[in-house]
Amino acid sequence: MNKKELTEILFKLTRQNGVSGDEFCASKTAAELLKKYTSDVTVDDFGNVIANIGKREEGKPHIMLDAHIDEIGFIVTYITDEGFLKISNCGGIDRRLLLAQQVEVLCSNGQKIIGVITSTPPHLESDDKKAPKLDDIFVDIGMSKENAQKLVSLGDRIIISNEPYTLLGDRITSKCLDDRAGVVTLIETLDLLKNELESLNCSLSVVFSSQEETGERGAKTASYKVNPDIAIAVDVSFARVFGDSKEKCGEMGKGPMVGVSPSLSKSLSNRFIQIAKDEKIPYQIEVMGGTTGTNADAIGVTRGGIKTVTVSIPLKYMHTPVEVISISDIENSARLIAEFLRNGVEADA
């Protein structure tokens, strides 16, 4: 796909909501997109999208390509007498950006209602500027308790809604690029291989897993089911922003970040780096001292252990509604994974 098409499907996916544990809208859209490449696509009881491609045979390695479909958000825990909502987080929301954010309450009846996160005016605050605790804020939906109760149920999810936009060059901003950018990378990988999917010397399961943000739970059950020989977890990682230290981050626009970590398969990491070099695909090495904070952590210890590697798209402002990525990093990540599936599998299986 060209940059425009990639941007379009990415925007299509980020416009769908899929807060952890309630991924249905996003899962459904992603599953539809996979149907272009295989008819064997299901959404399981856990909310995982699983698509099988190629004939699974003895002696032929089976590869699981994973990206998580869920996004961070909130969950309604209480309605106050004044009609304001108390909320808890689903995933690690950045509390520094909560005040006066516009949100959408995704009501269980399907309706979406607008709200604003409360913000106490400065003259009423005693301390200096702190990131609020979730306990200190409410969601203002401009309703009496009676009216609120007619629409909102405890357990409804809330998201910070933001239209996606194109910025300068091929950079784009949206909510939940973590990890819809990974989802699009895998769709693009299939697209690059669309004429050779049946002739690959491996079979594939593409998994868009649920509940990564609340503890890599979808990937755990999905990888048990899929039972692959090799898994590639595609997620986002830190692109350096103003104020960041160089050693902690990758750089936007400089290609996929290949994970190197004691928790990952060293041979797979090396294989990916070699392919990037051979094919002249820009890449960056992301060294992590322990586990990776991605689905790779759960997948790697599934059943009797699965060889796993991470390929990450550099992203700015992680876990905010204004995440930024470069489309070129999706393109190069997809090229790298496609090239591995074409020529690199044998060496590791």
Partner 1 sequence: MLDKMRELCLINGISGDEDKVREYIISKICDKCEYDVDNLGNIIALKKGRKTPKNKVLLSAHMDEVGLIVKYINDDGSLKVESVGGIDPRVVFGRQVTVGENNMVGVVGGVAVHNLSGDDRDKAVLFDKLTVDIGALSREEAEKAVSLGDSVYFRSDYIEFGDGFVKSKAIDDRFGCALMLELIESELEYDTYFSFVVQEEIGLRGAKAASYTVNPDYAIVIEATTAADLPDSEGEKSVCKCGDGPVVSFMDKSTIYNKELYKLAFDTARENNIPCQTKTMIAGGNDAGAIHISRGGVKTMAVSVPCRYIHSPSCVASKDDMKNSLELVKLVLNKLYNRQ
Taking CB under 8 A as the binding criterion, the range among 17-25, 41-49, 115-123, 335-343 that sits at the site for partner 1 is 115-123
CB closer to partner 1 out of 27 and 333: 333
Q: State in Å, rounded, how far the first CA of the chain is from the last one.
A: 29
Contact between 100 and partner 1 by CB under 8 A: the answer reads yes
CB of 113 to partner 1, least distance (A): 7
Residue 93 near residue 160, CB atoms below 8 Å: no
Contact between 94 and partner 1 by CB under 8 A: the answer reads yes
Q: Which of residues 281-320 bind partner 1 (CB under 8 A)?
A: 293, 316-320
CB closer to partner 1 out of 52 and 292: 292
∠286-289-291 over CA atoms, to 5°? Answer: 90
Contact between 131 and partner 1 by CB under 8 A: the answer reads yes
Q: What is the Cα–Cα distance from 233 to 294, expressed in whole angstroms? A: 7
323-326 sheet: strands from edge to edge: 165-166, 171-174, 323-326
How many angstroms separate the Cα of 324 from the Cα of each of 175, 188, 270? 9, 19, 28
CB closer to partner 1 out of 24 and 317: 317
Two structure tokens written together for 138 = 């409410």
- By DSSP bridging, strand 307-315 and strand 257-260 are antiparallel
Active-site pick, 23, 71, 188, 212: 212
Q: Is 212 among the residues known to form the active site?
A: yes
Q: What is the Cα–Cα distance from 106 to 273, expressed in whole angstroms? A: 42
Residue 109 C-alpha from the chain's centroid: 26
CB of 321 to partner 1, least distance (A): 6
CB of 147 to partner 1, least distance (A): 6
The full length of the chain comes to: 349
Q: How many residues bind partner 1 (CB under 8 A)?
A: 68
Residues within the interface to partner 1 (CB under 8 A):
80-82, 84, 92, 94-102, 113-116, 118-124, 129-132, 136, 138, 140-144, 147, 162-163, 165-169, 171-173, 238, 240-245, 248-249, 252-253, 293, 316-322, 324, 326
Residues designated as active site: 212
